Amino acid sequence: MAGPFRTLTSIGPKDHGAQATLGGWVEDVRNLGGIAFLIVRQRAGTFQATVKKKSDEDLFNRASKVVRESVVAVRGTIQRNPEVRNGWELVAAAIDVLSPAAVPLPLPVADKVGADMDTRFDNRTLDLRKPGVRAIFRIRSIVTSALRSYLAGQEFVEVHTPKLAGAGAEGGATLFTTDYFGRKAYLSQSPQLYKQMLMSTGLDRVYEIAPAFRAEPSDTVRHVTEFTSFDAEVAWIERQEDFFPFLEGAIAHAVERVRSEAKAELEALQVTLKEVRIPFRRLDYSEALELLRGRGKRLRAGDDIDTEAEKLLGAAMQEQGHEIYFLTGYPTAIKPFYVMADAEEPDVSYSFDLEYKGDEMASGGQREHRYDVLLAKMKEKGLNPENFEFYLKAFRYGMPPHGGWGFGLDRFVQKLLDLPNIREAILFPRDRTRLVP
């Protein structure tokens, strides 16, 4: 099927002499006096349209005046030419400006100067015209596709839980509120409660890739107020390690797919991806404290691992060849009510964080499925069970043992591609100050 517009990738020197119409954004106009070149950008790269003054002076004059970044359709003859970058050029017979670009551009697209992040996000659609910026989102798409196909192969069901909620997940401090026909509603900060509820139904392996909202006024390169969470929950486990292979497999598969399917994008970003070896290293909390002590950082048993400690551990693991590792056995006291405590040592919980290049990618663990214990822990954490009746109901009539994780997709893409800021991995990021575009 030959549409009116040909893609650059469908054309080569073999088409020598053929008529074609190509569309794109004019990246540059070079008028050399008697000959002019339009460098036109498409999804996959650029092609050159050539106009000679002596063959069509009117066309030559109009071509020379096209404003950069305008959308044009160029009709002409494909001419083989080894001197040209693609090995061919389009000798133009007609050039239509389908949509002119205004002057000046608020952001340089193909210029030799950069732009600040703020300027770029204010003009994100122009920013995304740059091949390196777009490459991030082609890769992100491969990642989500790989996660889905891997888990589908493990008999997971993809689910979608509500993002408007009448009660918070684990408290209330970090929730955005909104008006719901005169009632107070919240934007979901996590699918945690819902995916657990599903474990009581027979949909015993579920995952969800969806937005989560946090009203934390965080101001860092790894926090945004709206992020994409890759959550999963697995029932019929005996210990949390039983579901680790699913997370490991999904990540390894995603990296492999990116390595094989995004070679051009990785090159545009100047990123080399190493193969991910599974299983990942498991580092126990107490082992981590000892390791930190050896590096001059003293934490008392029960303390949370702060950012400095996290970076130190990351460096230590990296030295041992572990770019990615599980940090297991966090103190029960610093974990939410739904995590299960160790049967032998109740101060230690069946929980973990997944660390990647010094940053937290995921956290999860085995959940408390015993109704009475769950209820007691909820009260212990100062939560009112009445607000969670809808959730507790799922535990009252038979809940299998289960566990799962929440994994930050944006953060993963950031670290995978060594991006300096999580916002780079999000098309239209939302942070403390940015709500537009």
- Catalytic residues, by residue number, are 214, 216, 222-223, 360, 363, 411
Among 24, 131, 403, 406, binds RNA (CB under 7 A): 406
Interface with RNA in residues 181-200 (CB under 7 A): 190
- Count how many Cα atoms sit within 13 Å of the Cα of residue 244 in the half-sphere of its side chain: 19
Which CB, 17 or 202, lies closer to RNA?
17
Could you tell me which stretch among 245-253, 280-288, 304-312, 365-373 binds RNA (CB under 7 A)? 304-312
CB–CB of 411/220 below 8 Å? no
Among 3, 4, 17, 33, binds RNA (CB under 7 A): 33
CB–CB of 275/152 below 8 Å? no
Nearest to 214 by CA among 205, 204, 203, 223: 223
Among 1, 3, 4, 112, binds RNA (CB under 7 A): 112
The DSSP-derived string for 343-400 is SS-TTBBSEEEEEETTEEEEEEEEB---HHHHHHHHHHTT--GGGGHHHHHHHHT---
The burial of 25, by beta-carbon neighbours within 10 Å (0-12 exposed, 13-18 middle, 19 or more buried), is given as: buried
Rounded least distance, CB 300 to RNA, Å: 14
Could you say whether residue 103 binds RNA (CB under 7 A)? yes
Could you say whether residue 233 binds RNA (CB under 7 A)? no
Which CB, 135 or 312, lies closer to RNA?
312
Could you tell me which stretch among 2-10, 28-36, 132-140, 321-329 binds RNA (CB under 7 A)? 28-36
Could you say whether residue 421 binds RNA (CB under 7 A)? yes
Q: Which two tokens stand for residue 244?
A: 């680790």
Nearest to 305 by CA among 284, 321, 319: 284
Interface with RNA in residues 42-61 (CB under 7 A): 48, 50, 52-54
Could you say whether residue 17 binds RNA (CB under 7 A)? no
Nearest to 185 by CA among 161, 210, 168, 173: 168
Could you say whether residue 375 binds RNA (CB under 7 A)? no
Rounded least distance, CB 361 to RNA, Å: 5
Alpha-carbon span 356 to 359, nearest angstrom: 5
Which CB, 130 or 222, lies closer to RNA?
222
Could you say whether residue 361 binds RNA (CB under 7 A)? yes
Q: Which two tokens stand for residue 348?
A: 């230690």
Interface with RNA in residues 134-163 (CB under 7 A): none
Could you say whether residue 71 binds RNA (CB under 7 A)? no
Rounded least distance, CB 168 to RNA, Å: 13
Rounded least distance, CB 341 to RNA, Å: 17
Over the window 249 to 268, marking each residue x when it contacts RNA by CB under 7 A and - when it does not, the resulting string is --------------------
Alpha-carbon span 367 to 336, nearest angstrom: 10
Rounded least distance, CB 29 to RNA, Å: 8
